[in-house]
């Protein structure tokens, strides 16, 4: 068995580096970002994975930009697909050699929330608050999966085993999206109420926005409109049938929607930008997207908000925003009787169904998000290009196992 391990770590200065870290064991050890109450936590219910693919996420980018309280040295990565190489004493149903997708939510399967299917807000994995994730700030300190090997706790409950390993490897660029981005996109569209014939506006043409757009199409939307500031990303949305709006060129989204649909509003809208939102003047305005989608969505419509919002933003230009307080036009949303769905996505509610859609040729998520494979050593370049607005979803291939 291998004893070396390399991983992508936050350097604390707006960048990342690839460095040697400890080979994972079935225990959570002390390290950058690990909650003291989690140190020494035994995980005989867990497995060790040889990472086959692990993706760079926009949520990672928020940390790398210095917009959270993430500590230097934090090992990044919560989108993980891998082969089981070791199982804990208490693991019964997951076997060595299984190829599995790992939900980015860490969930025990035993608390009240997990039993109710709310695996995004598990009560037992993060001493600070409900909910946890790999390689993420204030999430308990579980080591990230942008690495060669990673430990995954509560394996029997959490991991999604692919039925046939060879078939899965043929579709690995689609299946790697099951750990986060595809369920998150589907969740955003579903919670916004997208259904057959719906008209939908999606704020943000990054990978999550593109995943929402593809999900809205799968749900039967009649028109999917995507807004962004970057023409390259808008072109990617157009490549699979979306209408687009460059919001940097227009100060009124409703007028642009009317030009496309004939009416100035949509049935549902999804915010895939989050707290680093910018207004049409390219100036940062954390509540700009939320206010714009309330305005552009019909009375009684739904708003899905998978875009990330935080309780602390040290890089914000305003004091309120530094504490997670936004100038939200909530009265408008209330007056229009709109529904709001926020928070992490409970991946386990969706990943099996989306896996079957991929395996049966009904979903083409890798094409929609422009999945682009790079080696682990190329991660710093991937982060830099992604930060620059590249219309790509970077997939790290630590062991050169992906054929493209």
Report how far residue 128's alpha carbon sits from residue 380's, in angstroms, rounded to the nearest whole number: 30
* Residue that wins the pLDDT comparison between 276 and 39: 39
- Nearest CA among 126, 1, 64, 83 for reference residue 383: 64
pLDDT of residue 283: 63
Q: What is the pLDDT of residue 279?
A: 58
Q: How many CB atoms lie within 10 A of CB 97?
A: 9
What pLDDT does 328 receive?
Answer: 85
**What pLDDT was estimated at residue 288?**
85
Gap between the Cα atoms of 161 and 152, Å rounded: 13
Distance CA 306, CA 309 (A): 9
Mean pLDDT over 102-117 rounds to 98
Place of tokens 């962004």: 228
pLDDT at 3: 80
- At 151-163, the pLDDT tens digits run 999 999 999 999 9
Question: Which of 63-77, 203-217, 349-363 shows the lowest mean pLDDT across its residues?
Answer: 63-77
Q: Positive or negative, the Cα torsion across 75, 78, 81, 86?
A: positive
Virtual torsion, Cα 87, 92, 93, 98, nearest 10 deg: 20
Q: Do domains 6-180+346-396 and 182-342 have the same CATH topology?
A: no
Average pLDDT, the chain: 93
Q: What residues have CB less than 8 Å from 279, skipping those under 6 apart?
A: 285, 288
| Predicted pLDDT of residue 232 | 97
pLDDT range class, residue 8, cuts 50, 70, 90: very high
> Looking at residue 371, what is its pLDDT?
98
CATH architecture of structural domain 6-180+346-396: Alpha-Beta Complex (3.90)
pLDDT tens per residue, range 352-365 = 999 999 999 999 99
Count Cβ atoms below 10 Å from residue 317 Cβ, excluding itself. Answer: 11
Per the DSSP assignment, residues forming a β-bridge with 374 are 396
CATH class of the domain whose range is 182-342: alpha beta
d(CA 61, CA 63): 5
In the predicted structure, residue 335 carries a pLDDT above the cut 90:
yes
Sorted by where each begins, the domain ranges of the chain are: 6-180+346-396, 182-342
Pairing of strands 266-271, 297-305: parallel
Give residue 280's pLDDT band: very low, low, confident or very high (50, 70, 90). low
Q: What is the pLDDT of residue 317?
A: 67
pLDDT tens-digit readout, 114-147: 999 999 999 999 999 999 999 999 999 999 999 9
Q: What is the mean pLDDT of residues 211-216?
A: 98
Q: Is residue 203 pLDDT above 80, yes or no?
A: yes
Query: What are residue 202's phi and psi, to 5 degrees?
Result: -120, 120
Lowest mean pLDDT among 195-204, 265-274, 325-334: 325-334
- Residue 33 and residue 382 in contact, taking contact as beta carbons nearer than 8 Å: no
Q: How far is CA 44 from CA 48, 87, 149, 155, 161, in A?
A: 11, 8, 17, 10, 19
Share of the chain above pLDDT 70, in %: 96
Mean pLDDT of 71-89: 97
* Strand ranges of the sheet holding 243-246, from the earlier edge strand across to the other edge: 243-246, 223-228, 199-203, 266-271, 297-305, 339-342
Query: Does the pLDDT value for residue 2 go beyond 90?
Result: no
Q: If pLDDT is split at 50, 70 and 90, which confidence band does 281 have?
A: low
**Is pLDDT at 27 greater than 70 in this prediction?**
yes
For the stretch 287-327, pLDDT in tens is 888 999 999 999 999 999 988 787 777 776 677 667 777 78
For position 248, what pLDDT does the model report?
87
The pTM of this model reads 0.94
| Distance (Å) of CA 305 to CA 82, 96, 144, 189, 237 | 29, 38, 24, 9, 19
- Please give the average per-residue pLDDT across 374-384, as a whole number: 97
Q: What is the pLDDT of residues 214-272, one digit of tens each?
A: 999 999 999 999 999 999 999 999 999 999 999 988 778 999 999 999 999 999 999 99
């Amino acid at each position: 068995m291998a004893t070396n391990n390399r991983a992508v770590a936050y350097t604390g200065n707006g960048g990342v580096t690839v460095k040697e870290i400890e080979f994972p064991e079935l225990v959570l050890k002390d390290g950058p970002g690990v909650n003291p109450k989690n140190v020494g936590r035994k995980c005989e219910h867990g497995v060790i994975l040889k990472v086959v693919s692990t993706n760079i996420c926009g949520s990672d980018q928020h940390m790398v930009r210095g917009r959270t309280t993430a500590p230097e040295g934090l090992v990044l990565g919560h989108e993980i697909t891998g082969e089981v190489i070791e199982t804990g004493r208490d693991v019964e149903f997951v076997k060595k050699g299984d190829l599995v997708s790992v939900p980015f939510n860490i969930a025990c399967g035993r608390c009240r929330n997990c039993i109710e299917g709310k695996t995004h807000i598990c009560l037992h994995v993060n001493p600070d608050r409900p909910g946890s994730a790999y390689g993420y700030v204030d999430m308990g300190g579980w080591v990230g999966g942008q690495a060669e090997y990673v430990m995954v706790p509560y394996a029997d409950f959490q991991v999604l085993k692919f039925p046939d390993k060879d078939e899965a490897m043929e579709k690995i660029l689609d299946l790697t999206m099951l750990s986060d981005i595809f369920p998150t996109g589907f969740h955003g569209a579903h919670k916004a109420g997208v259904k057959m014939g719906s008209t939908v506006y999606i704020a943000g043409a990054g990978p999550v926005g593109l995943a929402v757009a593809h999900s809205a199409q799968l749900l039967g939307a009649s028109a999917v409109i995507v807004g962004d500031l970057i023409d390259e990303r808008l072109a990617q949305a157009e490549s699979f049938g979306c209408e687009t709006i460059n919001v940097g060129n227009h100060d009124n989204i409703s007028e642009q929607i009317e030009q496309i649909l004939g009416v100035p509003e949509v049935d549902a809208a999804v915010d895939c930008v989050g707290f680093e939102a910018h207004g049409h003047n390219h100036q940062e305005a954390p509540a700009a997207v939320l206010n714009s989608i309330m305005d552009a969505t019909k009375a009684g419509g739904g708003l899905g908000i998978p875009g990330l919002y935080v309780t602390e933003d040290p890089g914000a230009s305003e004091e309120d925003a530094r504490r997670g307080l936004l100038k939200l036009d909530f009265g408008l949303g209330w007056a229009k009787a709109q529904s709001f769905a926020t928070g992490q996505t409970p991946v386990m509610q969706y990943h099996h169904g989306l896996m079957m859609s991929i395996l049966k040729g009904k979903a083409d998520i890798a094409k929609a998000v422009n999945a682009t494979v790079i080696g682990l050593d190329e991660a710093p370049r991937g982060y830099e290009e992604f930060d620059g607005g590249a219309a790509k979803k970077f997939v790290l291939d630590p062991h050169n196992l992906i054929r493209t």
